[in-house]
Every structure is written in structure tokens, then in C-alpha cells.
Structure 1
């Protein structure tokens, strides 16, 4: 008898029907599909968005074979070992949450997704999750900060953004792509059941997105900036920003500006960084 690809009882498949019942029909989520495997949920959903997929379309994959991160980095993980999903948001359109959000505020979307994911995991999994600007989800394993997930926001068309979230859930030490990675299991999470974890993240994302949209994208009126700063492991630390074009900027990360850019105070004063790779140069206090 040929073994079923779902025969790993430690990693059961997501319950698509139950997930739809739990989240679809809310003010934000319009549809939810779960696929066995795909190259990248962001790429697939970007194509759907270009064809007119509405705001609130959700695509979840049990396995990503060509997952993409910032700076076009590639990664993959064993089937059903994590949460790999993308959503369509259309902040450039008027809708249930009010007027369109100005484009210069859209830089807050990956930060918003980070806040939503971190707060959801704190409640649902009982783990403290911190954020590395702009889009890394950090967990503490063995007293060390390690990356357990990431967020990728990509603009699609004039009004839309596809936001992808990848989170390691049940990976063991020998399955980690690099020694500095982590998973919820390794961080001692209270649960690694992906169904309630995904529901919690989607509900939190909907709540934060509604608050941000209702406030016209204002990070202070929506309390997004305050909440992000409280959970951001980058602020207050010495950092090196590796910028496009091969230029580096070193200094102390002192804040996040109105457009979601990291403000670094260095020898030449304060400068805002909107793109690049940020390296933490000293431990968090």
C-alpha cells in the first residue's frame, strides 16, 4: 500500500473547510484556499490580484518549494512544518474601512503584518515574539534571538499589495535551514497546531488592518507605531544597514518615521532607511 502524503500524524494537514468557516465572511477576508504545494504563494496570489482578485483573498500552501523573502532570497521547509500564506490587500481603494490610504503610508504594511503576527502568537502559542526591522519574526531559543519567520509585501497594480507570511512551526533542530533559524516548537510554544495559529494570525491581521485603514494609514492614530516600537528588537541597538548599491550605514536605530522607514543616528546625523538589510551589531538590553 502506497503511504499517503498525509500519513505523518505529527504534521496533519490544515482543515480547509474549518478555516473557511472560521474566517471567511468577516469584514476583510473574502476567500481562503489551501493548496498542497506551490512555488510561492506571493507569486500565485500576485497573478490572481492582477486578474482582479478582491481584497481579502487568502492563499495558504502546505508546502512552498520556491518561497521568496526580501532581496529575492529563497527558502523552503518540509511539508506541513509551518504556515506559508499570502493575502491580497487593496489600500489604494475605498472600501468598508474608509478612503484610500496614501501610497507613502503603504510602507507600514509589512510592519503591520509583523505586529499582527507577533501579538497573535503571544496569545495563541504563549511565546514572546520580537520584530527585526522591517520584516523578521524573532523567537528566543537557548537564550539567543533567532529568526522564525518573515514577511514579504509586494505591490500589485495601482491599488493592491500582496503580503506573504512564512512561519516555522514544528521544525526540529536538524531541519533548520541555518543554525540561526528557529521554530515555535524549539521556542517551547504551548501549541504547534497550525489551524488555530493561522486563525489567530488572520484575525489579528484583520483587526490591525481595519484600525490602520480607518485611521487613513496614520501610524499614530491607529497605535501601530507605538505597538511596533514596543516589540521591535532593532530599536535602541547599534546596527549596520546594507543599502542598495553596496553602501553601508552604521549607527543606532532610534525610531521609525511616518512612512515606516528605520531612522538611524550616525556620525552624519539621522538618516531614514527604506530598503536594505539591517544587521544587529550588539545584543538587546
Structure 2
């Protein structure tokens, strides 16, 4: 296991300050050396009146990250990009299920621009090939200033195979064979997420159609036989047909279409 601080340097906080022209102006980034969970930290901050949209808390090391279904995980220090962003969308809350999809699409777009064979797996994972490289967790909460969303993103950057939690995961360094500057990656992803969310919030039928089409084009779940474990303990097995306008995955089972709002998806095979 590599633990040399020179090989895994900390994030460059100077490049993440408010006066950095590389960052979009409506982002306020705070870097903390160690946090149990960036989502929890941002949620707590959001309960204070006046906490702005665009607050970002980054953990150089996240010791008890949170995933879907209250799963927890820990990354080796200096090996990942983990952050949470506070959003106060003006879009109707009924359309907020699109938030994890849009965040995943933004990460996917950054990785593709770096030449990687990336794709989004509905609803909240980013893959390279068949292996998970990033996950997204979005939580809705009530605050003194109205409803808010916390978008948490974790990207595996320089983990070795031994440091990854499961064999089905990968890291950018494993895929490229080269070191990846975490600060560069973080700046790119923050800007991409903010830009994608802003475009979604502008709304309008034409813009929402473009968001829908862009996500569907990047979604490697579509056209595959899938098994979906649902929150109630049941499961569906069938063909992933499409993403509907509400962001749900439509699965065809024995000729019947089933819209799925939430669930854990296992890719079985290409149709």
C-alpha cells in the first residue's frame, strides 16, 4: 500500500479559493483535512439560516462516507476526490430526482474528456468499462431557508487494487496507468456539476429534453438485461428500456413496462 505523502499530496487549497478564476464564481469551496462524511457536514451547515447555494465542503480524507441505503465506506488518505455541494434549486421538488442523474452525467463528461471509457449506471454510479469509479448520493432536507439538496460525490483517483472496497471497483490511476492530480480533477468536476445543474434549473421544455437526451446517451444501463433490487425488498428482472421524463428507469418485464424510481441495479448482460 502506498502511503508516501509525496506520492499522494494533499489538495491544493490555494487553487480552490474564491479568487481562483478557474472556478465558477457561484461556488464557495472549503477544504477539511479529515471528515467522517461531507454530506453530513453540509447538511448540518444548511440548517443555519443564510447558508448559501453553492457551498462545497471537500474532505481530503473521508473516514465514514455515506452511500445509498446507509452504507458506509472509507477511503485511503490522499486517494480520492470526495465532496458535497449544497443546492437550493428553484425547480419544482417533483423534478429533484434528476439531481443524482445530472451529477453523474457531469462526472461522466469530465472523465470522457480525459479519454476514459466512462458511462453512467442508473441512478447514481459512474463506471469505466464495467467497474465503478464514482458514486453520487443526493439527500433532500428542510432548512430555515426552505428545501435544499446535498449532492455528495466520491471519485476513486489513485487507489491500488488492494485498496479498493470491492473487486467491481476501479480507480482512475488503475485505468490510465498514470498519476492523476486530484486538484485538477476536483476543479473540473465542480465546474461541470455546477454548469449542469444551472442548465437544468433554467428549465423549459427544450432544455429539459436536451438534459434527458444527454443523460440517456451516456447511460450504459439502457438496452441491458438488469436485476433491480427495490426498496421494499422485492426485485425486478427485465430489459432496461429508457429513462422517463421523471428520471425513472423503465424496465420491461414479460411485456409490461415498470417505471422504477429507486433501486439497486445489477447489469446482467447486453440485450
Do both share a fold (TM > 0.5)?
yes
Deviation at 1:261, TM superposition (A): 0.9
Q: Indicate conservation of the 8 Å contact 1:211/1:222, yes or no.
A: no
Deviation at 1:128, TM superposition (A): 2.2
Aligned position for 1:67? 65
* Residue 152, structure 1, aligned to residue 140, structure 2: no
Q: Indicate conservation of the 8 Å contact 2:104/2:125, yes or no.
A: yes
> How many residue pairs were aligned?
264
Classify the secondary structure of the residue corresponding to 1:167. strand
Q: Which runs of 5+ in 1 are unaligned?
A: 1-5, 92-99
- From the superposition, tell whether residues 80 and 269 of structure 1 become closer, same or farther in structure 2 (CA, over 3 Å): same
Aligned position for 2:97? 107
Classify the secondary structure of the residue corresponding to 1:120. helix
Aligned position for 2:128? 139
* Residue 179, structure 1, aligned to residue 167, structure 2: yes
Q: Indicate conservation of the 8 Å contact 2:225/2:268, yes or no.
A: yes
- From the superposition, tell whether residues 273 and 50 of structure 1 become closer, same or farther in structure 2 (CA, over 3 Å): same
1:74 & 1:240 partners in 2: Cα distance?
A: 23
Q: Indicate conservation of the 8 Å contact 1:89/1:161, yes or no.
A: yes
Deviation at 1:198, TM superposition (A): 0.6
1:45 & 1:105 partners in 2: Cα distance?
A: 22
1:224 & 1:134 partners in 2: Cα distance?
A: 15
Deviation at 1:26, TM superposition (A): 3.2
Aligned position for 1:276? 263
Deviations 1:42-82 (A, max 9, x none): 00000101113210000000111110111111111101101
Aligned position for 2:252? 265
Classify the secondary structure of the residue corresponding to 1:77. coil
- From the superposition, tell whether residues 203 and 275 of structure 1 become closer, same or farther in structure 2 (CA, over 3 Å): same
Deviation at 1:122, TM superposition (A): 2.0
The range that moved more, 16-25 or 108-117, is 16-25
Classify the secondary structure of the residue corresponding to 2:169. coil
1:190 & 1:265 partners in 2: Cα distance?
A: 41
In terms of fraction of residues, the more strand-rich structure is: 2
Aligned position for 1:166? 154
1:156 & 1:50 partners in 2: Cα distance?
A: 9
Deviations 1:138-193 (A, max 9, x none): 013xxxx1111100000021421000000000001111111111000111166510
Classify the secondary structure of the residue corresponding to 1:12. coil
1:84 & 1:280 partners in 2: Cα distance?
A: 26
* Residue 48, structure 1, aligned to residue 33, structure 2: no
Aligned position for 1:97? none
Classify the secondary structure of the residue corresponding to 2:97. helix
1:49 & 1:277 partners in 2: Cα distance?
A: 28
* Residue 192, structure 1, aligned to residue 180, structure 2: yes
Q: TM-score, normalised by structure 2?
A: 0.92
Q: Indicate conservation of the 8 Å contact 1:127/1:189, yes or no.
A: no
Aligned position for 1:95? none
- From the superposition, tell whether residues 189 and 164 of structure 1 become closer, same or farther in structure 2 (CA, over 3 Å): farther
> Which of 214, 217, 232 is equivalent to 2:219?
232
Q: Indicate conservation of the 8 Å contact 1:215/1:222, yes or no.
A: no
CA RMSD after TM alignment? 1.9
> Which of 7, 20, 23 is equivalent to 1:10?
7
